[in-house]
Amino acid sequence: MTDRVVLAYSGGLDTSVGIGWIAEETGAEVVAVAVDVGQGGEDLEQIRKRALACGAVEAVVADARDEFAEQYCLPALQAQALYMDRYPLVSALSRPLIVKHLVGAAKQYGATTVAHGCTGKGNDQVRFEVGIQALAPELRCIAPVRDFAWTREKAIQYAEDHDLPIETSKRSPYSIDQNVWGRAVETGFLEDIWNAPIEDVYAYTRNPAQPREPDEVVVRFENGVPVAIDGHRVTMLQAIQELNARAGAHGIGRLDMVEDRLVGIKSREVYEAPGAIALLTAHQELESVTVERDLARFRRTVSQRWTELVYDGLWFSPLKEALDSFVASSQEHVTGEVRMTLHGGRAVPTGRRSDASLYDFGLATYDAGDTFDQGLAKGFVQLWGLPSKIAASRAQRVSGVDR
């Protein structure tokens, strides 16, 4: 039987050309797999037809938007995943889902190899290949751009020589990856990190500097899952989509940063993730009210490690699984509502309410109704400070002088 290669297929020039190219280079049949994670653009059926027209023996397309929202974006929301305190892991979340579909297709169609179109200096090659090794250690990976020094110029030439049904003339100055959780943009002039982004790089968000009326939104969570917006029930996908629209209209979620890549270099990245940032803001606010202090403190350590792992391509690792268990436990009481004002690039919480609140008015108030027994504080303060006090006495004793 002829060997088969599953190709992560986008419908664009590079991977369309890749179908024939890989077949020629490897002698294998190519199965194209395209997954909709909310990146928008062309119809899946159109993509499927183009893959076949370009020579694929099979073309699999999947609408994975709900799967992506529920199984990838939601864990990231609950983990409060912000790489370097800012980046909500847009591309890093879609890669493992795509890997799952690639591996599924490889098994279904008897392929021995998986191919992807990533370069050798980015994070995505790691996310694809480590993911594939972790789901199907027997599969081989190839990355034509990296391994065979595939260039865009060669791709255009190939498409024209073979008369492939793909547009080759127009070239965006932007390198873009997008899905429902957000959008990443790289481009030449941003490689000078003193340059500011221009409005033209953004598509999910409007200019936050332009005056417009604020929007007010109430998000309801149950056990850490956003379930309603302004009182109407939503799925996770709908929650992101609605907030992409509403928060995007106010320029929320624009990020411009110098980022530490896994491969050891720093790179300039511009992102926009209006829905993600709005949801993360609301969720964090509700956690402030419903999560106990020590759990909240250690949760930061867990969130950081979770985020690093996912950024670093280790979605399917044993540690990620154990951290997921921790996060799931932490969400038990994250139930309630947060009211936010969306305006001028910011989602600002202005109110929170929850039946599972740990905020106790009686203990907090300084007015009538105060139930806090202040007499307990004296003993607490003295024992709390006792180690420092003993250390201070030691320092005086040892040095012979006061500190």
Q: Which residues are catalytic?
A: 14, 95, 124, 175
Does residue 301 have a known ligand-binding role? Answer: no
Q: Which of 153, 163, 192, 199 binds a copy of itself (CB under 8 A)?
A: 192
Would you count residue 134 as binding a copy of itself (CB under 8 A)?
yes
x-or-dash string of contact with a copy of itself, 217-256, rule CB under 8 A: ---------------------------------------x
Of 358, 40, 296, nearest in space to 183 by CA = 40
How many other CB atoms are there within 10 angstroms of residue 258's CB atom?
A: 10
Does residue 309 have a known ligand-binding role? Answer: no
Distance of CA 18 to the CA centre of its chain: 27
Residues numbered 47 to 106 that lie near a copy of itself (CB under 8 A) are 84-85
Would you count residue 403 as binding a copy of itself (CB under 8 A)?
yes
Does residue 351 have a known ligand-binding role? Answer: no
Select the span of 161-169, 224-232, 236-244, 310-318 touching a copy of itself (CB under 8 A). Answer: 310-318
Would you count residue 12 as binding a copy of itself (CB under 8 A)?
no
**Which residues, including other chains, have CB under 8 Å from residue 185's CB and lie 6 or more apart?**
174, 175, 176, 197, 201, 202, 269, 270, 271, 272
Would you count residue 148 as binding a copy of itself (CB under 8 A)?
no
Does residue 8 have a known ligand-binding role? Answer: yes
Give the nearer residue to a copy of itself in terms of CB position, either 67 or 308.
308
Does residue 15 have a known ligand-binding role? Answer: yes
Select the span of 14-22, 139-147, 176-184, 235-243 touching a copy of itself (CB under 8 A). Answer: 139-147
Phi and psi, residue 396, nearest 5°: -60, -45
Phi and psi, residue 52, nearest 5°: -65, -40
CA angle 214, 219, 225 (to 5 degrees): 150
Smallest distance, a copy of itself to C-beta of residue 372, A: 5
Would you count residue 176 as binding a copy of itself (CB under 8 A)?
no
Q: Which of 6, 32, 323, 342 binds a copy of itself (CB under 8 A)?
A: 323
Smallest distance, a copy of itself to C-beta of residue 280, A: 11
Could you identify the residue written with the tokens 């003339």? 169
How many other CB atoms are there within 10 angstroms of residue 41's CB atom?
A: 12
Would you count residue 348 as binding a copy of itself (CB under 8 A)?
yes
Give the nearer residue to a copy of itself in terms of CB position, either 96 or 275.
96
The DSSP line for 145-209 is HHHS---HHHHHHHHHHTT-SS--S---SEEEEEETTEEEEEEGGGGSTTSPP-GGG-SS---TT
Would you count residue 169 as binding a copy of itself (CB under 8 A)?
no
Does residue 278 have a known ligand-binding role? Answer: no
Distance CA 285, CA 338 (A): 7
Smallest distance, a copy of itself to C-beta of residue 220, A: 13
Select the span of 14-22, 67-75, 271-279, 381-389 touching a copy of itself (CB under 8 A). Answer: 381-389
The answer to whether the CB of 179 falls within 8 A of the CB of 37 is: yes
Select the span of 27-35, 57-65, 228-236, 346-354 touching a copy of itself (CB under 8 A). Answer: 346-354
**Residues 192/196/198/202 CA torsion (nearest 10 deg):** 90
Q: Which of 24, 46, 165, 193 binds a copy of itself (CB under 8 A)?
A: 193
Would you count residue 343 as binding a copy of itself (CB under 8 A)?
yes
The answer to whether the CB of 86 falls within 8 A of the CB of 118 is: no
Distance CA 186, CA 74 (A): 26
The answer to whether the CB of 8 falls within 8 A of the CB of 32 is: no
Give the nearer residue to a copy of itself in terms of CB position, either 167 or 370.
370
DSSP reduced 3-state for 54: coil
Number of residues that bind a copy of itself (CB under 8 A): 135
**Binding site listing for L-citrulline:** 87, 123, 127, 175, 259, 271
**Binding site listing for L-aspartate:** 119, 123-124
**Binding site listing:** 8-16, 87, 117, 119, 123-124, 127, 175, 259, 271
